[in-house]
Amino acid sequence: MFKNFKSVERTVYGRGAFNQLDEIIGAKRRKSGDFAVFLLDSVFQNHPLANRVPLHDEDLLVFVDVNAHEPTTELIDGLVNMVKAHAGRPIAVAGIGGGSLMDSAKAVSLMLTNPGSSVDYQGWDLVKKPGVFHIGIPTIAGTGAEVSRTAVLTGPTRKLGLNSDYTIFDQIVLDPELLAGVPKEQRFYTGMDCYIHSVESLVGHFLNPFSGAYGEKSLDMCVDVFMNPNLDRTDADDQLMVASYLGGLSLTYSRVGACHALSYGLSYVHGTKHGYANCLVFNHLQDFYPEGVETFKKMMQVQGIELPQNLSANWTDDELSRMADISMGMEILWEHAIGLDWKKKFGKEEIISYFKKL
Ligand SMILES: [Fe+2]
């Protein structure tokens, strides 16, 4: 059986595309009482972007803080209750921010139409009903969350996405102008999430020409963004936004691999943010991705990025064991990275040995 790949239905791309948001949502407003929900990353509180949100009287604007922690099932359930208490079911949910905000918007949209707690839907294809019309507007590029079929949430027992066709955005607005204020480090770590998506999807058991075409182009664009001295920030951001989109598509029809499997364990136990966790891990994955890691190190050099060393010196055996357990659970990623018989070649001990390199 081949995957029946569903993609985002509509995409607007271009500088200033954010200004079309009112028109896009307006097409859904039919009667009085219809309202839209805008979830905006709390970093934009008191930022000019907050004043550009096309808010109508009945709409709800919520600043969501996903900076200290990535979204949790508790956060999503709370937001859903807040929206329901506002005026019932909205006509649209728009998420404006980074990958965590994209995931929050997707999850809120789904939980407005599916009963129970978001914890009940952590897994594959557990969501039974389409969510509210949902729109993703990334303000940082690289996560691929704008095209992915998952909304990654940290729950009481695991970090796992609401993975379903219904999760995919109905509409995305890709406006590279919104990337202008992203600080250098954050831009690099999130950009590297995209680079690593491409490297991992291009090396492994599930690679195929369909996925490979997206992955190769995304990889080239990422390397250009972070290595080409002739590219100014504007041109680079225009490219990075597309690279993120293509990298996300690449992994949809292939898989990510060893870096993501390990970084999930790191993030779960230590709360490390996804892009940064990936960089910490990828830096030590020469065995899996020799060329990819070599280029990664060059990009770090060009961008003046330094990663901390000896982090693992402060980790207890219990922490390492829990990190490894989470990582081991990412079976489909190890299947891609090592092969369907990965368990014969690779186990908890090997995983811990990689964590100890950090
Ligand atoms: Fe990722």
Q: Are 201 and 249 in contact (CB under 8 A)?
A: no
For residue 188, report the distance from its CA to the centre of ligand 1, in Å.
13
Of 288, 328, 308, 124, nearest in space to 196 by CA: 288
Phi-psi region of 184 (alpha: psi -120 to 50; beta: other; left: phi over 0): alpha
For residue 217, report the distance from its CA to the centre of ligand 1, in Å.
17
Q: In angstroms, rounded to a whole number, what is the distance separating the alpha carbons of residues 71 and 80? A: 13
Per-residue pLDDT at 104 = 98
**Dihedral pair phi/psi, residue 53, rounded to 5°:** -65, 125
What Rg do the C-alpha atoms of the chain give, in angstroms?
20
Neighbouring C-alpha atoms within 13 Å toward the C-beta of 47:
17
Q: Are 132 and 172 in contact (CB under 8 A)?
A: no
In the numeric block, which tokens belong to residue 163? 């993975």
What single-letter DSSP state applies at residue 226?
H
Q: Give the class (CATH, top level) of 184-357.
A: mainly alpha
For residue 259, report the distance from its CA to the centre of ligand 1, in Å.
9
**Dihedral pair phi/psi, residue 317, rounded to 5°:** -60, -35
Within a 10 A sphere around the Cβ of 344, how many other Cβ atoms? 9
Amino acid identity, position 237: D
In the numeric block, which tokens belong to residue 20? 């079309």
Chunked in runs of 10, what are the mean pLDDT values of the chain (358 residues)?
90 98 97 96 96 97 91 97 96 97 98 98 95 98 95 88 96 98 95 98 95 97 96 96 97 93 94 95 98 98 96 96 95 96 95 97
In the numeric block, which tokens belong to residue 355? 């964590």
For residue 45, report the distance from its CA to the centre of ligand 1, in Å.
26
For residue 13, report the distance from its CA to the centre of ligand 1, in Å.
22
For residue 195, report the distance from its CA to the centre of ligand 1, in Å.
9
For residue 51, report the distance from its CA to the centre of ligand 1, in Å.
30
User: Which residues, in sequence order, are bridge partners of residue 72?
Assistant: 154
Which residues of the chain form beta strands (DSSP E)? 10-13, 36-41, 60-64, 92-97, 123-124, 134-138, 152-154, 159-163, 171-174
From 1.10.3720.10, 3.40.50.970, 3.40.50.1970, 3.40.50.1100, which CATH number describes the 10-179 domain? 3.40.50.1970
For residue 253, report the distance from its CA to the centre of ligand 1, in Å.
14
In the numeric block, which tokens belong to residue 222? 């990422």
For residue 198, report the distance from its CA to the centre of ligand 1, in Å.
10
Within a 10 A sphere around the Cβ of 129, how many other Cβ atoms? 11
For residue 218, report the distance from its CA to the centre of ligand 1, in Å.
14
For residue 275, report the distance from its CA to the centre of ligand 1, in Å.
7
In the numeric block, which tokens belong to residue 80? 């859903």
User: Which residues, in sequence order, are bridge partners of residue 10?
Assistant: 171
For residue 201, report the distance from its CA to the centre of ligand 1, in Å.
11
Which DSSP string do the residues of 202-220 spell out, in sequence order?
HSSTT--HHHHHHHHHHHH
For residue 277, report the distance from its CA to the centre of ligand 1, in Å.
10
For residue 55, report the distance from its CA to the centre of ligand 1, in Å.
31
Distance of CA 254 to the CA centre of its chain: 16
Domain chopping of the chain, boundaries: 10-179, 184-357
Q: In angstroms, rounded to a whole number, what is the distance separating the alpha carbons of residues 330 and 341? A: 14
For residue 257, report the distance from its CA to the centre of ligand 1, in Å.
10
For residue 112, report the distance from its CA to the centre of ligand 1, in Å.
26
Q: Are 244 and 302 in contact (CB under 8 A)?
A: no
Per-residue pLDDT at 29 = 96
